[in-house]
């Protein structure tokens, strides 16, 4: 298998596939309620890639060197028969590292079935332990207890778990230490994510960013930590272990420390567009080739030709001014 690389010699190793642009949350940083109200025109279901089309995409990209597939959204658990897709990914492709990003609400219903189907890992989004803060952020008055039940269900099913916390200054940054302490005691890795300008409804505002340095310093004052090496090429989180040996956390410095130079990730939107950067202005439509009589080999060649021309370095190059002028794709559409 020959690894496909882009013009900066970055290999394609990780693909994220959004299953739906809808969610049962309306998070303020991803789907602000003033934009995504009850009348928002979400994609008609017939525009979504079918499960068989997703399987063909994954079969193609694994032949290009992709090692990981993460299913995202919106909320992927809203997609009917998701365990069936995961079973087919596990049995009909060469991918053995299958992960799911979810808000956790539906995990008590599906966690065991997903594990039995072949899912290995879940990344669960949780931005606060304080119930009032959490409800304000998720926009749907979903309680912390509801997500904790989802985490417990995933743990009981034997799934590996990571928690994702997007940190927004003046909104939930006071929750950094409570979240660190709680998941330290639970032995579950926590990933802090710098708030970033994802989508055209959110502006590039450094005033909303709590930097990686500040997050680490706050935690280190309470629980001494030390950095550890990257686990693999292209890992986006800078990881730290607690000095007492009780576990680890990581920080994804999406804004203050760009990782464009080692980016190995592509994304496929729910309607089948391939994006080579989270901040891309447009995608490459896979549906025409998928819905023709093209063989997997032809799908592979099409995706390879897109990746080989890739020159994305948005986070390296952006400024406040360029971000204001540049249209972007909504996070709910492209996935995280």
Residues of each annotated binding site: 16, 23, 27, 29-30, 70, 74, 101, 125, 162, 196, 260, 263, 265-267, 277
> Which DSSP helix (H) or strand (E) runs through 69?
strand 68-72
Decide the pairing of beta strands 190-194 and 248-252.
parallel
Pick out the residues of the known binding site for S-adenosyl-L-methionine. Answer: 29, 74, 125, 196
Query: How far apart, in whole angstroms, are the C-alpha atoms of residue 336 and residue 317?
Result: 20
Query: How far apart, in whole angstroms, are the C-alpha atoms of residue 167 and residue 27?
Result: 12
Pick out the residues of the known binding site for [4Fe-4S] cluster. Answer: 23, 27, 30, 260, 263, 277
Q: Nearest Cα to 164, choosing from 94, 251, 236, 92?
A: 251
Q: Nearest Cα to 103, choosing from 84, 122, 116?
A: 122
Is 137:127 a contact under the CB 8 Å cutoff? Answer: yes
Q: Nearest Cα to 184, choosing from 167, 168, 163?
A: 163
| Gyration radius (Cα) of the chain, Å | 19
Q: Chain centroid to CA 141: how far?
A: 23
Query: How far apart, in whole angstroms, are the C-alpha atoms of residue 184 and residue 220?
Result: 13
Pick out the residues of the known binding site for GTP. Answer: 16, 70, 101, 162, 265-267
Q: Sheet harboring 284-285: ordered strands across? A: 225-227, 237-242, 248-252, 190-194, 160-167, 121-125, 97-102, 68-72, 14-18, 265-268, 273-275, 284-285
Q: How far is CA 85 from CA 3, 23, 61, 92, in A?
A: 26, 19, 17, 10
Decide the pairing of beta strands 284-285 and 273-275.
antiparallel
Query: How far apart, in whole angstroms, are the C-alpha atoms of residue 112 and residue 171?
Result: 34
């Amino acid at each position: 298998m020959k690894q496909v690389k882009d013009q900066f010699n970055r290999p394609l190793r990780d693909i994220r596939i959004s299953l739906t642009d809808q969610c049962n949350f309306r998070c303020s940083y991803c789907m602000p309620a003033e934009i995504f109200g009850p009348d928002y025109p979400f994609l008609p279901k017939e525009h979504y890639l079918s499960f068989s089309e997703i399987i063909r995409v994954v079969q193609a990209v694994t032949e290009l060197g992709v090692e990981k597939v993460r299913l995202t959204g919106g909320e992927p658990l809203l997609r009917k028969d998701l365990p069936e897709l995961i079973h087919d990914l596990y049995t009909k492709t060469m991918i053995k590292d299958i992960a799911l990003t979810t808000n956790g609400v539906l995990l008590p219903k599906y966690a065991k079935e997903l594990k039995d189907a072949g899912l290995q890992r879940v990344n669960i989004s949780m931005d606060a332990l304080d119930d009032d803060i959490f409800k304000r952020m998720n926009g749907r008055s979903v309680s912390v207890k509801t997500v904790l039940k989802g985490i417990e269900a995933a743990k009981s099913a034997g799934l590996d778990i990571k928690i994702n916390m997007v940190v927004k200054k003046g909104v939930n940054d006071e929750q950094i230490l409570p979240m660190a302490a709680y998941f330290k005691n639970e032995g579950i890795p926590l990933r802090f994510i710098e708030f970033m300008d994802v989508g055209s409804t959110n502006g590039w505002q450094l005033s909303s960013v709590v930097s990686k340095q500040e997050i680490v310093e706050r935690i280190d004052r309470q629980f001494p930590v030390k950095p550890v090496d990257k686990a693999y090429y292209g890992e986006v989180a800078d990881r730290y272990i607690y000095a007492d040996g009780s576990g680890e956390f990581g920080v994804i410095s999406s804004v203050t420390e760009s990782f464009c130079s080692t980016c190995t990730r592509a994304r496929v939107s729910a309607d089948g567009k391939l994006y080579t950067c989270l901040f891309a202005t447009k995608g490459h439509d896979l549906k025409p080739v998928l819905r023709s009589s093209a063989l997997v080999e032809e799908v592979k060649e099409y995706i390879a030709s897109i990746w080989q021309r890739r020159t994305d370095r948005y986070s390296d190059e952006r400024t406040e001014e360029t971000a204001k002028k540049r249209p972007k794709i909504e996070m709910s559409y492209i996935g995280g």
